Chains A and B, each alone.
Chain A
Amino acid sequence: MTDSPNVNVTAEHWTENATLRIAGVPIQATFAEAFDMKVTRLIMTAADRRWCNDAAAAMVGFGTSVIACGVEIAVERELTPEQTPDGRPGVAILAFAVSGKELEKQIPRRAGQCVLTCPTTALYAGLDGDRSIYPNRVPIGKALRYFGDGMQISKQVLQTNADGRVEAIRYWRIPVMDGEFVCQHDVGRTEAIGGGNFILLGRSMPAVSNACRAAVDAIRQMPGVITPFPGGATRSGSKVGSKYATLFASTNEAFCPSLRKIAETELPDDAAAVLEVVLDGMSFDEISDAMKAGITAACESVGREGLVGVTAGNYGGKLGRHHFKLHDIMMERSS
């Protein structure tokens, strides 16, 4: 609890005087603050969709936030057999970490415990390019091959690129009880952005849930972006720091409806429930496009009757160098 007074002045609140509205829903003139991260993309396949989804669920489990999970990881999109290297159903997975070293630690662990163990699966690099394009690599088969106990097979498959250049891709074939586990030697990693977000201020929990689901469904169609939290959204939006010295993040009381009367709040009186959609993306543009699609879908799904407004989380611009200005995104970017 805090001794700060309630400073919400309803008459002058931004929701009343917003210059930008989507489907009647006010959009605050603020920005989402995001940070540099490292990313890699993995392609996972299996003999059928069910095994593939089972392995994917395990692989991306406990991957919501780098605060405690090590990586933020989620399925980017499902892939048809025509879109995968081995002609079987698959998924593309994006994994983000605060450092390359952390990514190099987390991916082999997850691949070893969640993919290698799942029947019929195989794992490939989702970022096309050898060391000349992605000099920093995340090990996959390089780390898992030892499970083969000397009976693993390394194969270099030569692929002729569009420019006529022959590229060698190294795979490992590890004998397992259903045949062999095939995986690529390693995968490139590159720079990315994590922490893009927007906050939906709902008039009720059902209304903000519907808006949130519409937003996440729209974002799911966008390439290069994931929403790693359960269902794509989080209710536990956090601020930096805590009264407890051991915590470096704690609840953001300014967006907690139950604390509206006893703590400094950012919420208008009509806001009864608040959900935050958090996005990680491979580039600024891809996150911006996804934010626009998500906000538009959320507003159009429930309108002014369901949402009091849309805002975004930031730390005053002091922590992250990527600022996603909601008004710029919604007005300037093409659909």
Chain B
Amino acid sequence: MKTILLSIKDSDAATVDASTLRLDELAKKTIDEIARQTIRSADGDLELGDVFRVERSSNDSAEPSLIVRGDCRAVHKLGHQHRLGHIRVEGNIGDCCGSCMTGGTITVNGNAADYLAAPTGTRNVGMNGGLLVVTGNVGDHAGHRMRRGEIRINGNAGNSIAAWQIAGTILVSGTVGEHPAYGMRRGTLVLRTPVQLPANRFSVPLPLDSPFQHLMLNRPGLRPNLASLSPTNARLTWWVSRGDRAINGIGEVWHVRD
């Protein structure tokens, strides 16, 4: 299957909306057609080749891959409605990465800006499947209105992570900002660091002891700092709070105490 490599030419270029790039559709195109793909920017419509150097190769995988290289902080909505194949960003990425994705995987080997995997436009559902991994930090509103799938953040997260979460799983190795899981209905937010949740919205933390902890945290794909959450790690005590009770939510926030 094809691997498409996009290397950003000028990281200081104008803001780019990459929501028109769909990996499953790009994989069917020739390299020239990919370079002529229209993307929107603050300066008007551009061709993909104006912003990125486009290369293509083949790999043994059954699914297509897209590799984006360079500092792409000005590239927003990459992986919008992504459903098949693997997107890997070698560098930072802008807002709304993985917005409304329904399948496949996105890996950001760097930091991601705000609204990671959040809905865009008038949509009321954010991430709806697949796996999104960020090795660095993420901005505010990550996992907003997430409904299905999994987000792994190996660094820190900003404010309002998992806000209005409907279902799905978010794991954070670092710290989180204010208002975590605000308006959470269901789903799971796993936090490596202790967190103080408002008593009027979340239940008093109770010890968590379930075989499901092992299923969730002992997977080989988790980064070492997430894998250290293993329930076999006797140093850690697990707690769970349920909420957001302000909206009769029964989501859960797992957090640990060393």
A→B interface (CB under 8 Å): 45, 85-88, 122, 151, 153-160, 163-166, 168, 171, 173, 179-180, 182
B216 contacts A182, CB within 8 Å?
A: no
Pick the contact of B211 from A122, A153, A155 — CB < 8 Å? Answer: A122
14 A-B interface contacts by CB (under 8 A): A45-B211, A86-B214, A151-B250, A155-B212, A156-B150, A157-B150, A157-B216, A158-B131, A163-B62, A164-B86, A166-B131, A168-B129, A180-B210, A180-B212
Given A153-B188, A156-B149, A160-B221, 12 new contacts (CB under 8 A): A85-B214, A87-B218, A87-B232, A153-B252, A156-B169, A164-B86, A166-B104, A168-B129, A171-B212, A173-B212, A182-B211, A182-B215
Known: A151-B250, A153-B252, A180-B210. A166 touches B105 (CB 8 A): yes
Q: Which residue of A lies closest to B103 (CB)?
A: A166
Q: In the assembled complex, which residues on chain B have CB atoms less than 8 Å from the CB atom of A173?
A: 210, 212
Query: Complex: how many Å from CA A153 to CA B215?
Result: 14
B220 part of interface (Cβ distance < 8 Å): yes
B145 part of interface (Cβ distance < 8 Å): no
Q: In the assembled complex, which residues on chain A have CB atoms less than 8 Å from the CB atom of B168?
A: 156
Q: In the assembled complex, how far is the CB of residue B223 from the closest CB belonging to chain A, in whole angstroms?
A: 12
Query: Complex: how many Å from CA A160 to CA B220?
Result: 8
Query: Complex: how many Å from CA A45 to CA B231?
Result: 16
A-facing mask of B196-235, CB < 8 A → 1, else 0?
A: 0000000000000111101110111100000000011000
B61 part of interface (Cβ distance < 8 Å): yes
B252 contacts A85, CB within 8 Å?
A: no
B82 part of interface (Cβ distance < 8 Å): no
Query: Complex: how many Å from CA A104 to CA B141?
Result: 43
Q: In the assembled complex, how far is the CB of residue B88 from the closest CB belonging to chain A, in whole angstroms?
A: 12
B148 contacts A164, CB within 8 Å?
A: no
Q: In the assembled complex, how far is the CB of residue A292 from the closest CB belonging to chain B, in whole angstroms?
A: 37
6 closest A-B pairs by beta carbon, nearest first, are A86-B211, A86-B214, A160-B221, A122-B211, A87-B214, A182-B212
Query: Complex: how many Å from CA A197 to CA B69?
Result: 63
Query: Complex: how many Å from CA A179 to CA B188?
Result: 17
Q: In the assembled complex, how far is the CB of residue A229 from the closest CB belonging to chain B, in whole angstroms?
A: 32
B80 part of interface (Cβ distance < 8 Å): no
B220 contacts A155, CB within 8 Å?
A: no
Query: Complex: how many Å from CA A326 to CA B216?
Result: 48
B148 contacts A179, CB within 8 Å?
A: no
Query: Complex: how many Å from CA A164 to CA B63?
Result: 10
Query: Complex: how many Å from CA A86 to CA B168?
Result: 20
A165 contacts B62, CB within 8 Å?
A: yes
B232 contacts A153, CB within 8 Å?
A: no
Query: Complex: how many Å from CA A87 to CA B86?
Result: 30
Interfacial residues of chain B within 90-138, with CB under 8 A of chain A in the complex: 104-105, 129-131
Q: In the assembled complex, which residues on chain B have CB atoms less than 8 Å from the CB atom of A45?
A: 211
Query: Complex: how many Å from CA A96 to CA B105?
Result: 38
A88 contacts B211, CB within 8 Å?
A: yes
Q: In the assembled complex, which residues on chain B have CB atoms less than 8 Å from the CB atom of A157?
A: 150, 169, 215-216, 219
Q: In the assembled complex, which residues on chain A have CB atoms less than 8 Å from the CB atom of B149?
A: 156, 158
Q: In the assembled complex, which residues on chain A have CB atoms less than 8 Å from the CB atom of B212?
A: 86, 155, 171, 173, 180, 182
B76 part of interface (Cβ distance < 8 Å): no
Query: Complex: how many Å from CA A245 to CA B220?
Result: 59
Query: Complex: how many Å from CA A179 to CA B129?
Result: 28
B186 part of interface (Cβ distance < 8 Å): yes
A182 contacts B61, CB within 8 Å?
A: no
A155 contacts B169, CB within 8 Å?
A: yes
Q: Which residue of A lies closest to B222 (CB)?
A: A160
B61 contacts A164, CB within 8 Å?
A: yes
Known: A166-B131, A173-B210. A85 touches B186 (CB 8 A): no
A155 contacts B61, CB within 8 Å?
A: no
